[in-house]
Amino acid sequence: MELHAAELGFQELNEKLRETADREITLTGCIGQRFLAAGTAGKYVKINGIAGNALGAYLNGSVIETFGNAQDAVGDTMNAGEIIVHGNIGDAAGYAMRGGKIFVKGNAGYRAGIHMKAYQDKIPVMVIGGRTGSFLGEYQAGGIIIVLGLSGGEKPIVSNFPCTGMHGGKLFLRSDCAGIHFPHQVHHRIAAPEELAEIRCHIEEYCAHFGGDPDAILNAEFTLVTPDSGNPYKQMYVAN
């Protein structure tokens, strides 16, 4: 099924996405419509154009692939499925994400992975091919965030205040992170080979979507960031 998005508002477009029995849907001429494929399961949605805010919010098993940029809140509170973005994304991607995977070829804005969490066998994963803005992994409670820094240029792989309030999960940065200031409640060090082996499957999947050589990407220093304590807010509590 093909829908011409330029002719439709976001509500009408999403109603058609939900109501169709077709499993494969192509949106052409997307011009920033919000909430695309929100809450859907069992569909493959191909988007040509620019997706608006909350692409794939509450996603429950569908695969969304957009051949352009996406705006803020990609994968907000998604539960399962995949979102693949052949471009850049805005702020707060993966907000409260609790399952599934997000793959971004380019850069991400502020607060990627904020409140990301894991539950039982659900371990969400976000792979960002370029760089990220400030507050990456803010209040991260679970899951895996991987930033590859493949976009070139002189800017650092992450901007200010990464991992603020982080209290779970893992964050891998393809950089020695020299000069990047991390908060006191996290550990950061060069990842060991066995730790990089844990993320190889995600790098291979990234390369399957966007091209590239997993061995070449992994043949670099990665900084692994993990929480220093299971209770990063203990200084706020009054002792008995």
pLDDT at res. 234 = 53
Give the pLDDT confidence score for residue 120 in this predicted structure.
Answer: 86
101: left (phi over 0), alpha (psi -120 to 50) or beta: beta
Q: Which residues contact 202 (CB under 8 A, 6 or more apart)?
A: 101, 125, 127, 144, 146
pLDDT at 119: 87
Q: Could you tell me the mean pLDDT of each successive run of 10 residues in the chain, 240 residues long?
A: 90 92 94 95 96 97 97 97 98 97 98 94 96 97 97 87 95 95 94 97 98 97 89 50
CATH 3.40.1280.10 holds for 88-236: no
Q: For residue 77, give both structure tokens.
A: 């509170």
Q: What is the structure's pLDDT at 151? A: 85
